[in-house]
Structure formats: structure tokens, C-alpha cells
Chains A and B, each alone.
Chain A
Amino acid sequence: MFANFRQAMAWVHTWFGLVLGYVLIAVFFFGSLSVFDREIDRWAVPETRFAAQPMPSFDTVLKPVYDRLRAHPDDMAATALRVQGEIPHPDTLPLASLYAYTTHRDPVLQIGGEFAIPNKPIDASDDHQHVHGWASIDPRTGAYLSEDKLQVGSDFFYPLHYSLHLHWKNLGYWIVGLAALIMLAALVTGVVMHRKLFRELFTFRPHKRTQRSVLDLHNLTGVVALPFHFFFAFTGLVIFAGIYFPLSQTALEPLAKQHEVLQAERTGLPHEPAGIPAALASVDAMVAEAKRRWALRDMPGEVGSLFIDHIGDENGYVSIYRAGSDQVALVGQGVHFKASTGEVLREDPPLSPVFSVNEFLTGLHLQHFRHWLLRWLYVFGGLAGCVCIATGFVFFVEKRKRQLAGQSPAALVRWVDALAVAAVTGMLVATSAMLVANRLLPEDLLGRALWQERIFWYSWLAALAHAAWRSAPVARGLISPAWREQCWAYAALAVAAVLLNWLTTGDHLGKTLAAGYWPVAGVDLCLLASAGIAVKAAALLRIREGVRKRVAEGTAGTADSSALDTTLEPARG
């Protein structure tokens, strides 16, 4: 089928890259935004624009908060499908375990817990008989944050990055996983195809014809960020390995259960409740003891995560983990206490090499550490991935345009180009439309969160429809005007978002910059900067469109590259 190995690799790279590129570019883009998910949350939920808070006192603040926590309606509905009979009213369900998680960037605290239910499962092997509840709270007062105040960064962009919001049978996870696997294949095949990897490492020739310069940019962004692309595709797969290979719930389930029991024996942390009621001792005293022990190990720190199991039972225990602000791993150095007395059951020893590697791989992807330079470097890596994929699309289209010019319209190339417009500029339009909706929708609108999400999806669909409608010139070897028009649409929406933030909250850039309040100032500045780039791109596209048109008319449909290059000369800034 193929004359040589390199051609076979090129075929894999082209077609797999094309099909899954549309998924990958969304994964890369929303992954890049997720680096600053907490900051986008602050922009989108103005009442949470206050400084990051440490874990609040459990005894005085959190205890009453958990008393008010109820099973989430979504999980009640999901669990009802798995169990026999009707689940009792949420108010009557006892809290069996609870958690709280925070990082150095969180003003609000994420809490949650599991509620025990008396129902038997429909499938006897399904041993998870709990319903879950979760919420975000203001740790200064203990007040619950309304779910209709959608935290756009961590509740929408971030899950979009790894699940595409396709929850039916975890389909989104599988598509993203497949895309990550193809990404690894595309990197390997790309390196094989690239004849001059080192010789042309620093080569980008923006003034050559489009096909050449986009290939330069494709190679450049692919090669310089190769370690980043490789590691993020790989660690992404590691993080969800449990979903892709659910061995502990399928083939190896008996072994996994036995392991849990043995581990409980080894660590002294009870696996099962004793059935004897017991009160909870002061958790604040346990936190103080954990902090004292961290300081003794020469690594003083704040609490990152708190977990209590078998609540109200003699076997209950409290686990306190140190926040990983200064390390790659998320949290660590756990200290575990007997819940009823506060005595120390166990202090986690330093991790074995296998676990350290796993924590490093997970931590480097999820990045809860305090390192602003590295965060921005990750954004660069993610956006380089987007550029690499986008230039891949453009190269695909340009190469075929030259073969097609003057012939009958080719549906494939038109559709690839229209989908590329939707995947690149359309994605930006949808994102900025969502931010505009976030500021424009009435504060007390019922289903405000849902409406923001709908506007995101509808504007993305509208961008696709617009791109398809405007794609006719592509078949004649010209540039689709949709690219330029959507650049303008994005620029307008981004500027509108900044202005609306000012109008609705009073937090304009002068104020946020003067106060050094970077979460909101940063989002505003990025919106303005990207709007500027979009306007510049639109202007350059206009020049190229005109040049192409003249060349096409002048040479009766055969786009001659030397003529194109000469005509482009005046356009070089």
C-alpha cells in the first residue's frame, strides 16, 4: 500500500491527526485555560473576589457546614438507577465520610461527603452504596455558594478539558483518552516524517507561501514543545488509567478488595465501622498536632486536604494532608488520628519510589503547586499545542487547495476548512460569548448556570454554521472569509466581556491593577491582549484574501506561488 515506511507514517499522521485533531485542539485549549481555572472562577463569580483562605477551623466553622450538607440531587438520581427501592429523603441520610480540599489559590473551599443508604444494589457486585453531596463554601462565614453561580473555570472549562461534558457511559473520557493516545502516535509519526528535525529547529519563514510557512510553524511548535506534548498526553492517560483499565472493579476485584483489607491492617486505619457510636474529638487539636509534626520534619505547611471516615463511629478516623504548594505532588505527609480520642494512629512514611513517581506524574499535570512562572510556561506549552494542531489543519487544506484550484468544488476540503474555522476561531467565539453571558444574564435567573453553558454550545454551533456557509471560496483555492469574520467576532466579544465586567462589578482594570488583584486583572488583560491579536490576524487575513483573489483572477485559476510571493511583498510589515 505504501512505497516506504515514511509514507505509511505520513498517512497515519495525516488522517488520524485530522480526525482527532478537532478533539485535541479543544483539549489543549481548555487545558491551557484550566491552568488558571481558579482565576477565571473569580472573574465569573464576583462575590468570591477575596483573598485565598487557609483551611478554616473545623470545630467552629466546618462542623455546622457539614450538618447542613445534603446528598446532591444529581447523584440521588444517578444512584436511584443502581439500587432497589426508593432512596429515603436526603434529610434523613446520615453522613458516613467527609472531605474538604483547598489550595493556595482558593478563596472558596470545596467540600463534600458520602451519605449511607439502606437500599440494596440491583447488581450484587456493586458494593458502592452511598450517595454523594458536594458544595463550595465561603470559609470565612461557612455560607454555601449557590450552584447557579457557575464557577466557569473549575466547573465548566476544566471538566470540558478531560470529559468534553459527555457523561453518557463516560464517553467523553474515552474520546479524550483515545485522542491522547493518537496524540502520542502523532508525535512519533511526526518525528519520523520530519527530515530536518535539528537542522530546522529554529526555522520559521512567515513570508513564504502559506503552505510552507504553516508547515514551518507546525514543525516548530510541535518540536520545541515535544517534551511537554509527550508528558501531558502521557500523564493525562495515567491520571485516568483507573477508568481506561478498571481492573480493580472487574477482573481483579477480589484482589483489590483483599488489598484494601490488608492495607487497613498494615496502616491501622479501620476498613469497616465498629457499629459502636462515638463522639468526634476536637479536629482543630488534631490539625495543630499535624502541623507540629510537619514543622518537626522541617517542612512546615498548611492543611491541603482533610478527610474523616466512619463518622460518629468508634472506628472513625481523621486524615490530615499537607498542601503541596511547594512540591509537584498535590498533597502529602498525611497524619491520621483516631476520631473519638484524637490520638495519632499513623504518620505516613516517605513514599516508595513507585508511589513518588505516580504522585509526580499526576502532580505535574494537575499543578496545584505555587509556581507562577511554571504555570505560564504550561500555558505556553498548551497554546503551542493548539497552534500545532491549527497549522496542521491549514496545511491539510492548503495542500489540497493547490491540487483543486479551478476544478469542481471538493466537499471534503470545504468541510475540513469549515470545521477548522469552528475548532479554532469558533472555540474562541464560544468561550468569549460564555463570559459575556456570565456578565449579562440576570443575577437571580433560575438555571443561570445552565444558560451560560447553553450559550457556550449554541454560539459554537453558530460559528460552525457560519463557517460552513462562508466556505465556498475554499473550493476555488481562496481563503474562507469566515476566518477573518470570526476573528472580529472574538475581538468584539472579548472587549465586551471586559467592559461588562467593569459595568456590572465596578472592578475595572485601573482598580484591579492598582489593588494588585491579579485573578481579575489577569483575565481582563488576557482578553484584551487576545482581542488585539485577533484584530491583527483579521487585518493580515484581509490582505492575503485580496492577494489570492487577484492572483486567481490574473492567472486563470492556477495559483502560481512565485506570483503570490511577489504580490505579498508589500504586505510584509
Chain B
Amino acid sequence: MAEGGLLLLATVSCFSGMAWLALAKSAHWRQVRRGASQSAGAMRGLQVAGSLALLLALWLCLLADAPTMAALVWCMLLAVSAAAVAFTLSWRPHWLRLWLLRRG
């Protein structure tokens, strides 16, 4: 059961990482923030947060499974998360405001 929890956290962490990396791109930032412009600092911060979240996901995968298995799970989670973020941006971009920790 603990493994399930770790993998769930890894999935959430992976999705968040991909969401932040997407928001670091100005085109997607504008989709989510309805045209508000993005400062260079914010962009940098999102990139760092995104990368750290992906690394955190890898660490959680390693805690849950043997290293060989964990590497496979992490690679596939990256793929699913990237696709999930892309589809969220296509159909429900405002949902990603949650990842900017603001409502507006």
C-alpha cells in the first residue's frame, strides 16, 4: 500500500513538473493567464521548479521500486504527464492556474 502512495505522489509530482515547464513557455503562459505578460524571473523560476519536480518524481519512483523498474516507471510517467499537460492546455487551460497558486 505504501508503494501505491509513493507512486501516486510521483505521478502528481511529474504532472506538476511538466505543468511548470509548460508555463515557462510564453505561449502557454498567455493561454493560462489570459494575455498577462511574463517576467524573465518568473520564467526562470518555473523552469527550475519544473525540473526539480521531475527529479522529485524520480526519487519517489526509486523509493517505491527496484532501480531498474523505477527507471521504466519514471520514463513512462514523463510521457503521460507531458501528454496530459498538453491536453489540459488544449481544452481546460484555466485549470493550470492552480499550479501558479492563484485564482485570477
Contact = CB atoms under 8 A, between A and B. Distances in A.
Contacts of A221: 83
Nearest to B28: A202
Nearest to B66: A327
A267 to B, nearest CB: 25
Interface string A352-373: 0000000010001000010101
A199 interface: yes
Given A224-B82, A327-B68, A360-B68, A381 B76 contact: yes
Given A202-B22, A326-B66, A328-B68, A220 B86 contact: yes
B76 A228 contact: yes
B25 A202 contact: yes
B36 interface: no
A227 B79 contact: yes
Nearest to A213: B90
B79 A224 contact: yes
A380 interface: yes
A203 B76 contact: no
A378 interface: yes
Give the size category of B's interface with A: 20 to 34
Contacts of B22: 201-202
Interface string B20-55: 001001011000000000000000000000000000
B76 A380 contact: yes
A204 B90 contact: yes
Contacts of A381: 76, 79
Given A202-B86, A204-B89, A221-B83, A327 B76 contact: no
A326 B79 CA distance: 23
Interface residues of A, number: 27
A532 to B, nearest CB: 17
B98 interface: no
A535 interface: no
Contacts of A374: 69, 72-73, 76
A186 to B, nearest CB: 18
A202 B85 CA distance: 7
A14 B8 CA distance: 39
Interface in B54-104: 65-66, 68-69, 72-73, 75-80, 82-83, 85-87, 89-91
Interface string A193-208: 0000001011111100
A279 interface: no
A61 interface: no
A202 B82 contact: yes
Contacts of B83: 220-221, 224-225, 380, 384
Contact of B91 (A203, A206, A360): A206
Nearest to A203: B86
B5 to A, nearest CB: 12
Contacts of B90: 204-206
B25 A228 contact: no
Contact of B79 (A228, A327, A360, A369): A228
A220 B90 CA distance: 12
A12 to B, nearest CB: 25
Contacts of A326: 66
A377 B73 CA distance: 8
A206 B28 CA distance: 15
Nearest to A221: B83
A225 B81 CA distance: 10
A384 B82 contact: no
Contacts of B86: 201-204, 220, 224
Interface in A322-359: 326-328
B79 A384 contact: yes
Contact of A199 (B25, B68, B72, B80): B25
Contacts of B72: 328, 364, 374
Contacts of A378: 76
Nearest to A374: B73
Contacts of B87: 204
24 contacts: A201-B82, A202-B22, A202-B28, A202-B85, A202-B86, A203-B86, A204-B89, A205-B90, A206-B90, A224-B82, A224-B86, A225-B83, A227-B78, A228-B76, A360-B68, A371-B73, A373-B7, A374-B69, A374-B76, A377-B73, A377-B79, A380-B79, A380-B83, A384-B79
6 closest Cβ pairs, A-B complex: A377-B76, A224-B82, A202-B22, A202-B86, A224-B79, A204-B90
Given A220-B83, A360-B68, A373-B73, 10 more contacts: A199-B25, A201-B82, A202-B82, A204-B86, A227-B78, A328-B72, A364-B72, A374-B76, A380-B79, A381-B79
